[in-house]
Structure 1
């Protein structure tokens, strides 16, 4: 369970780094770009992926391309969701995005699904509405800002589907696929940054690089410890699933409210409770 604990801490710390960097004047894109060189380097050094090179005909380039575009794009949405909606709501959106691949498995890949899983998904969707949805007092500006949290919910779900499809290619190791995806995402992110630097006249500050490296370390730590948790508890995947998702939701709520003074309405609090309940239903019923 220590691997799950460390993965939860790293995951929430990613949000904290994004929030603190923004307060110190670091633009979201300038921060996120440096996450990918760090992720690619650590994947190569720590996971030591084995592959036959980029010309290997078994490589699923279509999936890689989709992930390379989505990863930096949704990461930017995560940063804006944290800025506008707060850490608590953004973490809920990320964690409950697990319903997207579950629904895809049922509707697109014709997998059987138990009634309890459908019940858990239904509770989770209600949790999303209560956590990041709008109430009658919301104004137009508020609705526009909530878009980022919804983009995180759907985007992270699609990313999860693509990574699961990548994992099905047994001829290519998953670590090697991760390395290629991180390298491609790095190229996409630097293309975004190059546009902002050369066509928008923005300037790159050294502090953006330093904060970005810190972000990359914790983001990769989240991935590494999560993988190790599944390896250590291979016979109890539901424990990893439950511990990770509920852990991030609860720790994110403590950090968001306790450290950053985020305010939650009654509907938001009900949404948090429903989010935890939905994870428990899916894992154990």
Structure 2
């Protein structure tokens, strides 16, 4: 059940971004409110007293600052990818980033690289291109159509790798909620800084709808991570099985919702890309 909830929540993030774009809700303001909501969820989930001095002196604190910058930057890229190119493209690009922590593990944790894992990594890169390339009638291909999913791919992989490294090396077992809350809070502060800069430049207009959208997105965002961590703690499933089912289900469900809810049209090469993406996830994760 935890895994099912995680899959639904993660997929819902892409749907929310798509709805935000269609209803012309301010994306940046929504993301800022989202992070403060996710921060609140993390604080409420923490079962120990919150001591600011302990947080600042923690070995993971500076890593959390860096992740805060990445979170808000990549969340913006994810929103733009879903709105401009499609749900399935955003989903595939972010989920294919699983190859980055795997490559990191080869060098840092001395993991082996077999033929199955190597082929999976190559196929992942091919899948991102095929799923992202959407042609227009009488239009020639432009590399400009690829920069959003590529940045999303690299950024998501960097975030996953950093979180894994910090949690494994510095974060205590009961410190995950406060660690996550700190990242969300820093990302929210950065967002406030961006909105303040817009206000100074007199380009800021408050969007009341972004408050509601941000609260909804923040709750979904926090619990998509929380539920996945709970699923990984289950004794009757291996983590490789959890990650495989989670990633493949999100890609497939995002594609189906994109077709059903938003009438997204996919080219044959996009369908091939999604198929290759699923295959590459299976190869890499089960290697």
The TM-score with structure 1 as length reference comes to: 0.91
Q: Does the aligned pair in 1 maintain the 2:99–2:284 contact within 8 Å?
A: no
Name the counterpart of 2:182: 180
Q: 1:279 to 1:50 in 2, by over 3 A?
A: farther
Instruction: Give the aligned partner of residue 284 of structure 1.
Output: 286
Which range moved further: 4-13 or 197-206? 197-206
Q: Which residue of 1 aligns with 2:114?
A: 114
8 A contact 1:134–1:143 mirrored in 2: no
Q: Which deviates more from structure 2 when the two are superposed, residues 118-127 or residues 54-63?
A: 54-63
8 Å CA contact 2:240, 2:286 repeated in 1: yes
The answer (yes or no) to whether the contact 1:65–1:184 under 8 Å persists in 2 is yes
CA spacing shift, 1:151–1:49, aligned 2, 3 Å: farther
Deviates more, 1:269-278 or 1:166-175: 166-175
Q: Deviations over 1:148-189 (max 9, x none)?
A: 111110100111111112112346433322121111111111
Give ranges in structure 2 of 5+ residues lacking alignment: none
Q: Does 1:231 align with 2:230?
A: no
1:190 to 178, 189, 192: 192
Unaligned runs of 5+ in 1: none
CA distance in 2: counterparts of 1:38 and 1:207, whole angstroms: 15
Aligned length: 283
User: For residue 43 of structure 1, what is the aligned residue in structure 2?
Assistant: 42
Distance in 2 (alpha carbons) for counterparts of 1:155 and 1:54: 30
What does residue range 7-18 of structure 1 map to in structure 2 within 5 Å? Answer: 7-18=6-17
Residues 111-260 of structure 1 mapped to structure 2, 5 A cutoff:
111-133=111-133, 139=140, 143-170=143-170, 172=172, 173-233=175-235, 235-260=237-262
CA distance in 2, matches of 1:27, 1:265: 30
- Take 2:183 and 2:18, find their aligned partners in 1: how far apart are those partners? 26
Structure 1 stretch displaced more, 221-230 or 57-66: 57-66
Q: Provide the rounded CA distance (Å) in 2 between the counterparts of 1:91 and 1:20.
A: 15
Contact 1:120/1:279 (8 A) holds in 2: yes
Report the 3-state secondary structure (helix = DSSP H, G, I; strand = E; otherwise coil) of the residue aligned with 1:25.
coil
Q: CA contact under 8 A between 2:131 and 2:272: conserved in structure 1? A: yes
- Cα distance in 1 for partners of 2:162, 2:236 equals 22
CA distance in 2, matches of 1:92, 1:116: 20
Query: How big is the shift at 1:210?
Result: 0.8
- Look up the SS of the partner of 2:78 in the other structure: helix
d(CA) in 1 for partners of 2:83, 2:143: 14
Distance in 2 (CA, whole Å) between partners of 1:166 and 1:138 is 45
**Is the Cα contact below 8 Å between 1:35 and 1:215 reproduced in 2?**
yes
Preserved CA contact (<8 Å) 1:37 1:182: yes
Does the 8 Å contact 1:166/1:177 carry over to 2? Answer: no
Map 1:43-122 → 2, pairs under 5 A? 43-48=42-47, 53-55=52-54, 57-107=57-107, 110-122=110-122
Q: Deviations over 1:218-245 (max 9, x none)?
A: 1112111111111124641122111110
For residues 134 and 110 of structure 2, what CA distance do their matches in structure 1 show? 33
TM-score, normalising length from structure 2?
0.90
